[in-house]
Structure 1
């Protein structure tokens, strides 16, 4: 009899313990859901990219540079509903940004433009990394979105500078002078002069 009573109390204790665990789990799940909702709202509010050309040059590039057009279209589409949608979109933007290094129009295939593209890609990859962490730092994602917008503006302004410089007429002989400054075109010294060879004086 005493054995049955002890068993009964043990059963009640286990049952009470399980109920406490369920309540704790529900409270933790509710807390996690609230935290995820806050992260989603912060990212959703910050997720605004400059997807419209800021100058005529950028607008012309959309017509002729396929990778630029695809990239601008990708950042213009805003995901909805879940963090997972933002994660997928971030990955897609990252892929389109990497493609910007391909088929750069000849006028813009310069170190200045390439470095701007590299910085833009780096910031987009950082955003993609942060948004895929298990604990998403929404403040860093929001900050990087702002930084990406700054880099987009800087890239478009750099393109505009290149076009404006090309419109300035060159002076007579300037083209030849610039060619002489280009060290890649210099005639290489094929072989060093041997000091032991006889010289004509």
Structure 2
């Protein structure tokens, strides 16, 4: 039985198309499996320690609105898809950026601002990595741990500032500090020379006698 070349060509195209479909289906299945694995890894690691660690941070949670908003945002864990984690990371990054110019006056110091800056950098990095097409899940996990470390460090440092401010001044220390301040305030200028005393009649006679003795010599 003879087969026309056209029929053979159509058969080859069908077979080739089926082979491509199988490859595409296999690739889709692999991608889905990888995405599921990434989602599981990220979901298990996505736990932020946002609770206050001392009395100071507990007070700040009530009075520092931007800090409270960020902590509440981080405490709400996404559940549905990796896209939900991406959206959450973007929101966290935006909220973290609002901390810089809102640090309460007592803590508006270079060391606290440095801590805030490091925390912002870590959150921004998390946002960057989780929004990549191919998510490096292990880097995401590591960053979550780093962010928790920075949150604790920032709260602890603020607590230390409050603790030091509450240490009572020992007896006599306040007087000593005032004396030091007074001493610093006194200008360091030489004392004026005393005015010469006027010569008495006896001084003049002794001076004249001394001059006569010099002339005789």
Fold conserved between structures, TM > 0.5: yes
Which is greater in Rg?
2
Unaligned runs of 5+ in 2: 185-217
Equivalent pairs counted in the alignment come to 178
Shift of 1:51: 1.4
1:127–1:175 distance in 2 versus 1, CA, 3 Å: farther
Shift of 1:62: 1.0
Question: Partners in 2 of 1:26 and 1:123 — Cα distance?
Answer: 38
What secondary structure is seen at the aligned counterpart in 2 of 1:99?
coil
Q: Contact 1:55–1:156 at 8 Å: present in 2 too?
A: yes
Aligned partner of 2:11 in structure 1 is 12
C-alpha deviations, 1:38-81, integer Å up to 9, x for none? 00000000000011111111110011111111011111000111
Question: Partners in 1 of 2:113 and 2:130 — Cα distance?
Answer: 26
User: Which sits farther off after the overlay, 169-178 or 103-112?
Assistant: 169-178
Unaligned runs of 5+ in 1: 182-201
Question: Partners in 2 of 1:162 and 1:127 — Cα distance?
Answer: 29
Q: Contact 1:62–1:68 at 8 Å: present in 2 too?
A: yes
Shift of 1:104: 1.2
1:142–1:175 distance in 2 versus 1, CA, 3 Å: farther
Question: Partners in 2 of 1:16 and 1:50 — Cα distance?
Answer: 56
* 1:81 pairs with 2:80: yes
Aligned partner of 2:163 in structure 1 is 164
Shift of 1:102: 2.4
* 1:67 pairs with 2:53: no
Shift of 1:156: 0.4
Shift of 1:176: 8.8
Aligned partner of 1:199 in structure 2 is none
Question: Partners in 2 of 1:148 and 1:103 — Cα distance?
Answer: 20
Runs of at least 4 residues of structure 1 off by over 6 A? 175-178
1:29–1:177 distance in 2 versus 1, CA, 3 Å: farther
Aligned alpha-carbon RMSD (Å): 2.0
